Amino acid sequence: MTASGAGTRTAQPSPPRANGYFDNDSMIRRLHRERALALSGPRALLMQAAHPLAVAGLLAHSGALDDPYVRLARTAEVMNVITFGARRDAERLTRRVRAMHGSISGKLPETVGRYPAGTPYRADDPELLLWILYTLVDSTEVVYQTYVGRLRADDREALWKDYRLVGRLFGLRPGDLPRSAKDLRAYGRQMLTGDALQVGDWARRRAREIVLEPPVPDLARPLLATVNFITAALLPDRIREQYGFPRLPPAAVREALVRAGALYVRRGLLPLLPPRIREVPAARRAA
């Protein structure tokens, strides 16, 4: 989970499956074994930064937007251990995150959206942790369905069941979490249409640098341009507009471009890739 955790909220999830919390039949493993899911990380981080209190309490304190690539790598490592590793290792890492964030609190230095300067925040606020968790689930679903394959209603339900367990590892209690995938989608709609989200100046400046100006060699610039387009195109419209990313083609054209690229990846590229290339190393070790 990106920059989240609760120092005093230590409710433990249900008993693990085999050696870890998940097995190879679990939905979270089936999705996150795909390397294509790496595209979900930047999208999730940009969505998280659209919440002023999440920026202040969970991202700014951790340096997530000052060193975003280290942060994304660390997030990927923790999620890989939770998803593919042993229970004891997952508990060790998430216990450390909860302890690290349990002491973080403060007040907003300036007004952002509906939140006036001086609004208090704390990193173990379950409302912030739920938003962070939602961005991870939503980005996982969006990227998987765009570039790998379809998800049925029962697939989404199984995925949310797995992520509920992840949320509890990071300190959320059962009552803090939507009961079903349908309830989760209703929560997402409420957040995206309400006034809780507002990209502030600091987040806009740093987040744009995350997407548009990463430290990559010149030879990788053409690939970077493609990844930038994908990241921006897959963001919810309202959040993308608040970041002020360069104007994209009209929605119909944008969707056609993404859909065409996705069709090539799903039908032309992925079926030809051997597991050692298509799947993340943690998934192959856990197989």
| Tens of pLDDT, residues 60-91 | 555 555 555 666 677 778 899 999 999 999 99
Q: What confidence tier does 217 reach under pLDDT thresholds 50, 70, 90?
A: low
Q: What confidence tier does 102 reach under pLDDT thresholds 50, 70, 90?
A: confident
Contacts of 110 (CB under 8 A, 6+ apart): 117, 200
Distance, in Å, from the CA atom of 91 to the CA atom of 88, rounded to the nearest integer, reads 5
Q: What confidence tier does 52 reach under pLDDT thresholds 50, 70, 90?
A: very high
Instruction: For Cα atoms 206, 144, 164, give the angle at the middle one, nearest 5 degrees.
Output: 80
Could you tell me the maximum CA-CA distance found in the chain, to the nearest angstrom?
Answer: 55
**Tally of CB atoms within 10 A around 49:** 29
As given in the structure block, the two tokens for residue 35 are: 């390397």
| Tens of pLDDT, residues 261-285 | 454 344 444 454 455 544 666 665 6
As given in the structure block, the two tokens for residue 240 are: 């993308």
| Mean pLDDT, rounded, of the chain | 79
Q: Name the least confident of 26-40, 165-179, 223-237, 245-259.
A: 245-259
67 phi, psi to nearest 5 deg: -140, 65
The amino acid that residue 220 corresponds to is A
Whole-number pLDDT of residue 2: 42
Q: Is the pLDDT of residue 124 over 80?
A: yes
The amino acid that residue 116 corresponds to is P
What 3 state SS string does the chain have?
Answer: CCCCCCCCCCCCCCCCECCECCCCCCHHHHHHCEHHHHHHHHHHHHHHCCCHHHHHHHHHCCCCCCCHHHHHHHHHHHHHHHHHCCHHHHHHHHHHHHHHHHCCEEECCCCECCECCCCEEECCCHHHHHHHHHHHHHHHHHHHHHHCCCCCHHHHHHHHHHHHHHHHHCCCCHHHCCCCHHHHHHHHHHHHHCCCCCCCHHHHHHHHHHHHCCCCCHHHHHHHHHHHHHHHHHCCHHHHHHHCCCCCCCHHHHHHHHHHHHHHHHHHHHHHCCHHHHECHHHHHHC
> Exposed, middle or buried, 97 (CB in 10 Å: 0-12/13-18/19+)?
buried
Q: Is the pLDDT of residue 178 over 80?
A: yes
Q: What confidence tier does 231 reach under pLDDT thresholds 50, 70, 90?
A: confident
The end-to-end CA distance of the chain, in Å, is 23
